[in-house]
Structure 1
Amino acid sequence: MRHSMRAVPLLPLAAIACLSTPAHAQDSDVEALRAQIAELTAQLEAVNARLDEMESADERNAAAAAEAQAAADAIPAPVVTADTPVEISMGAAADIESADGFSFKPFGRLMLDSGWTFLPDELGRSDGFDVRARRVRLGAQGDIPGGFGYKMELEFGGNEVEITDALLEYETGDVTLSVGQFNNFQSMEELTSSRFTSFIERAAFTDAFGFIRRTGIAVEYGSGDVLLQGGLFSDNIGDLPGSDRMSVDGRAAYFPQIGDTQLHFGGSIHYADLGDGATVRYRQRPLVSFTSERLINTDRIDAGSEFDIGLEFAAVRGPLHVHAEGYRRELGGLVTMDDATFHGAFAEVGLFLTPDDSRTYRVGRFNRTRPARTVDEGGIGAVQLNLRYDFLELNDADAGIIGGTQNGLFGSLIWTTTDYTRFMLNYGHLGYDDAVFALPDGSRDYSVDVIGMRAEFDF
C-alpha cells in the first residue's frame, strides 16, 4: 500500500520566508527567523524520512505475501483414490479394517436387573425389591496380520473395573491357540454368552462351583460337527500374582444336524490343584443376583484339589429347543474328612411364540436370536417362553458337610425386540432342605419365591 503524502520541497519555502521579512528588520530578528526556518526544515526532513520507511515496509510486506501465496500454490492438493487404506463397515458398531490386515471392532453390553425376593418372614432376612446393574461392559476385538486375533473386555459394574476377557489367539487351519484370560471349557451353559441365555442367571451349579475366567493357554480343534478344547490354567487375573492354583481342563462336543433338528452332545472334565493352604466355599443365591442372601452354603473347607465331570445335551428344531446338563464335583485333599462330592443339574424346554423364530446354535454353544420381524421393521420381535428345573446339592453326609439342597422351578418370558435388544421376565419358586438359616422352630426346610426383570442391549 502506497501512502498519499509526498515529501515537501524545502528550498522554495525558505525563499518565501526570506522575502516576507521586512527590509528594516534588525539583524537579530533575521537570525531568529533563520533559526526557526532551520528547525522547521529539520522537522520536515524527519517527516519525509519516516514516510520513506513506511513505504519500504509496505513494499517488503507485499513481497512476502506474494512469496507465501506462491509457495502455497506450489503444494499439490491431496488426491483421494478409490483404493482407500482403511475400510469401515457399520453394523451394531463400526468395524475398522486396514489393507495390511489389522482390524478393530468395539463391543459392549448393558444389563439392568430389578425385581423382588420373597423369603419367609420368620427368617428375618433381607428381601423385597432391589435393583442392580448386572453387567456394564466395554471391549474391543480384531485381527493382527499373520493369523493372530485379540480380544479385550472390561467390566464396570459395581463401581469397579475388572478384566473379563484378555487374550491373544493364533489360528491356523482347524486349530486355534489362545493365551490370556478366558473361560476354561466348563459347561455349555457357562460358555453361552449372557446375552443369549434363557434365564436371567445361568444354572445354579455354574455359580456355586465358581466357574470364572482364568489365565492360561489353550488349544481348540474344530472341523465339521466336532469340537475339541483343552488347556492349562492358573487363576483369575485379579488374583495374580500370589496364587499357585493350576488346573487342566478339556471339553468335547459333537453337534450333527439331522434333517431340521440341530443336536448337541458334549462333555467336560476338570482337575485343579488348589495350592498350599487353599480353602473353598460353595454357596448360591435364589436365582437372581440382586439379593445378597445365599440360603445354601458349605462355609469354608480346607481342600487340596477339585475333580469335575460334566455332561451336556441340547436340541433345536424350529421354535422348540431343549437343553440339559449334569455336573459332579469331587473335592479332594480334605484335612479332617473323606473326599466330598457335590452335584448340580438342570433341564429346560423353550418355545418361540412368534412365527419363523428359532433359537440359534453355533459351534458348541447357543448364539444370538435374530427375530424374523423386528420392531423397527414393523413387527413385534421374537417372543419366547422357557421352563426349567434346576437342582443343586451341597450336602455330603459321609464327609460331614451339610451345605443344603436347592430345587428350583423357573419360568422365563423373553421379548427380543431387535437383534441387539431384549427384555426378560423371570419367576422362580425354590424349595430348600438343610438351608443355612433356620426358622424359629429350628426347621431348615422352606421355600422362597423370586421375580426378576431385565432390560439389556449390546453392540
Structure 2
Amino acid sequence: MKCDVISLNKVPLIQKQARRLLSSMINLCMAIGPGVLALPASADEAGSRVTLTDSGLGLKSTDERFAIQLHGLIQADGAVFDQDRTELGNGTDIRNAKLILKGHVQHDWGYKFQVNFAKEDNRQLEDIFLQYRGFRPTTITVGNVKQPFSLAFLNGNRNATFMEFAMIHEALVPKRRIGLMAGLHGGSWTAHMGGFANSVKEDNSVGDSGAGIVGRGVWTPVRSQRRLVLAGLAGQYRSLGDNHKVAIKSRPGTHVTNQRLVGFGPHTGFAPITDARNVAAGDAQVAVVHGPFAVQGEFVHKRVGQKESHFDAQGGYMQASYFLTGESRAAAYQPGKGAFGAITPMHPYGAWQVALRYDTLKLNDDSMVGGREQNLTAGVNWYANRHVRFSANYIRIDAERPGGPDNRANAFAARAQLGF
C-alpha cells in the first residue's frame, strides 16, 4: 500500500511529532483493515493517502471509496463534597477514555467502533454499528447504538454543557442497545425510529431479554449559524421479557461518587422494582439559541408496568448558557442527529461559557417511595480550542427520601478533557 504525501500546514504539530503519529496510525490501520484499505477500483487508482486535519487523523483510498478515521476522548474528573448525612466520598475519576474508529466502505456503507476503557466491565463496548447511506438523506443503522430519545444524551458527554447530564438521563432515559434504526431529515425536521433488543452486557442464555421500539421527532422552524428554535418529542415502549427487575437511580451530579441518594436498585439502599412486565416513557424537549445565549430543557415521564399495578417516575431539567466570547451553539447543530456537536472557538485564546441548570427527579408513587431530589448546578467552561476543554461545576444537592435520610450537600467538581 502506498501513501501520498500530505500537507501539515493546518495542523500545529512539529514534523517529528507528526511522523510518529502518522506511523502509528498507518500501522494500526494496516493491522485492523488491510483488506478494506487496499482495494482500489483500478490500477490507476491504487493507493491511499493519509489525512491529518482538524477533524482527526485518517487514512483514505485515493478514489475515496474507503476511509478510516481515528478519534478519542479522555476526561479526567475530581470532586469534593460538603455533605450532610450520607458520605459521598471525595476523589478523582477517569470519566471517559474512549477509542473510536469510524469511516466508510464503498462510499455508502459507514461504520463505527467505539470502546470506553474507563468502564468496569463489558459496558465499555459502546457504539458498534454498520450504517447504509445510499438512500440519502435516509440512513439505516444496525448494531449497538444510542436509542433516539433524549436531546442531551444524543449530544454526547463530550459536547454537554455541564460535566454530567441531568439526573433523568441515568434514571429514566433508555441507553444504548442492539437494534435496527432508520433516520431521515429535511430542511426543518429530523426523525428516527428503531427496534431494539438486548444490550451488549446482557446474557441471553438466562432467558428472554425483551424487545422494544423507540422513536423521536424534532422540528427546527428557525435554524441558522446564530439562531435556532428546536422542539421535539420522543417515546419508548419495551417488553421486559424474563427480566422482571428494574433499577431506577441516579448519581447526584458527578460521577466521582458511586452513591445514589434516591432510587431503587444497587447503591441506593433499596431493592429494585420487582414483578415488572414492561416500560413506557415519553420525552418532551426544547432548545432556543439566540447568538451566544441558549436555553434547553427536557421533561421525561416513565411508567414501569407490573403484573397488577404500575410505578410512575418523572423528572426534567432546564438550563441556560452564555458564551462570553460570542460563540453560538446554533453553529454546532447537526440536523442528521437532531442534536448539537462540538463548539469551535472564534478566538485564539479559546471560548468561555457560563451556565446554570435546575434539574429534578421524582421517584415517589403511592406506597413506593424512591425519594425526590433537586439539584442546582452552576458551571464555567473554557474551550482552549476545538479539542481541549476545562470545566468547573458547583452542585447544590437537595434529596428527600421518606423512610431514609434527607441529604443536603454541596459538590465542587472539575474536569480536564481532550477530544479529537
TM band (smaller chain): 0.7 to 0.9
Indicate conservation of the 8 Å contact 1:296/1:435, yes or no: no
Work out which structure has the larger RCO, using CA pairs closer than 8 Å and 6 or more positions apart in sequence: 2
Deviation at 1:148, TM superposition (A): 0.6
CA offset digits 1:307-329 (Å, max 9, x no partner) = 11111100111110000110000
1:268 matches 2:241: no
Indicate conservation of the 8 Å contact 2:398/2:408, yes or no: yes
SS at match of 1:133: strand
CA offset digits 1:286-312 (Å, max 9, x no partner) = 100111211102331120101111111
Higher CA-based Rg = 1
Indicate conservation of the 8 Å contact 1:297/1:436, yes or no: no
Alpha-carbon distance between aligned partners in 1 of 2:81 and 2:188, rounded to the nearest angstrom: 42
Indicate conservation of the 8 Å contact 2:66/2:107, yes or no: no
Indicate conservation of the 8 Å contact 2:58/2:70, yes or no: yes
1:113 matches 2:80: no
Alpha-carbon distance between aligned partners in 2 of 1:280 and 1:184, rounded to the nearest angstrom: 18
**Kindly tell me: are residues 430 and 111 of structure 1, through their superposed partners in 2, closer, same or farther at Cα, counting changes over 3 Å?**
same
Letter in 1 for 2:51: S
Indicate conservation of the 8 Å contact 1:106/1:138, yes or no: yes
Letter in 2 for 1:351: Y
> TM-score, normalization: structure 1?
0.75
Indicate conservation of the 8 Å contact 1:165/1:181, yes or no: yes
Alpha-carbon distance between aligned partners in 2 of 1:221 and 1:104, rounded to the nearest angstrom: 24
> TM-score, normalization: structure 2?
0.82
Alpha-carbon distance between aligned partners in 1 of 2:391 and 2:250, rounded to the nearest angstrom: 21
1:407 matches 2:369: no
Alpha-carbon distance between aligned partners in 2 of 1:435 and 1:132, rounded to the nearest angstrom: 31
Letter in 1 for 2:127: D
Deviation at 1:343, TM superposition (A): 0.4
Alpha-carbon distance between aligned partners in 1 of 2:102 and 2:334, rounded to the nearest angstrom: 19
Which residue is 1:294 aligned to? 260
Which residue is 1:368 aligned to? 342
- Whose helix fraction is larger, Structure 1's or Structure 2's? 1
Which residue is 2:32 aligned to? none
CA offset digits 1:402-452 (Å, max 9, x no partner) = 0000111111100000000100000111211216742xxxxx3x4111111
Over the aligned positions, Cα root-mean-square deviation in angstroms equals 1.9
**Kindly tell me: are residues 308 and 356 of structure 1, through their superposed partners in 2, closer, same or farther at Cα, counting changes over 3 Å?**
closer
Alpha-carbon distance between aligned partners in 1 of 2:162 and 2:174, rounded to the nearest angstrom: 17
SS at match of 1:248: strand
Which residue is 1:308 aligned to? 281
- Percent of paired sites with the same residue: 24
**Kindly tell me: are residues 371 and 435 of structure 1, through their superposed partners in 2, closer, same or farther at Cα, counting changes over 3 Å?**
farther
**Kindly tell me: are residues 381 and 357 of structure 1, through their superposed partners in 2, closer, same or farther at Cα, counting changes over 3 Å?**
farther
Deviation at 1:83, TM superposition (A): 6.6
Which residue is 1:354 aligned to? 325
Indicate conservation of the 8 Å contact 1:357/1:372, yes or no: no
1:220 matches 2:183: yes
Unmatched tracts of structure 1, length 5 or more: 1-80, 375-379, 439-443
Alpha-carbon distance between aligned partners in 1 of 2:292 and 2:372, rounded to the nearest angstrom: 33
- Whose strand fraction is larger, Structure 1's or Structure 2's? 2
SS at match of 1:301: coil
Deviation at 1:146, TM superposition (A): 5.4
1:424 is aligned, of 363, 368, 391, to: 391
Which residue is 1:129 aligned to? 90
Indicate conservation of the 8 Å contact 2:59/2:67, yes or no: yes
Which residue is 2:66 aligned to? 102
1:235 matches 2:202: no
Indicate conservation of the 8 Å contact 1:116/1:130, yes or no: yes
CA offset digits 1:18-54 (Å, max 9, x no partner) = xxxxxxxxxxxxxxxxxxxxxxxxxxxxxxxxxxxxx
Deviation at 1:95, TM superposition (A): 2.0
Deviation at 1:240, TM superposition (A): 4.2
Alpha-carbon distance between aligned partners in 2 of 1:163 and 1:222, rounded to the nearest angstrom: 28
Deviation at 1:203, TM superposition (A): 1.3
SS at match of 1:372: coil
1:157 matches 2:118: yes
Letter in 2 for 1:150: Y
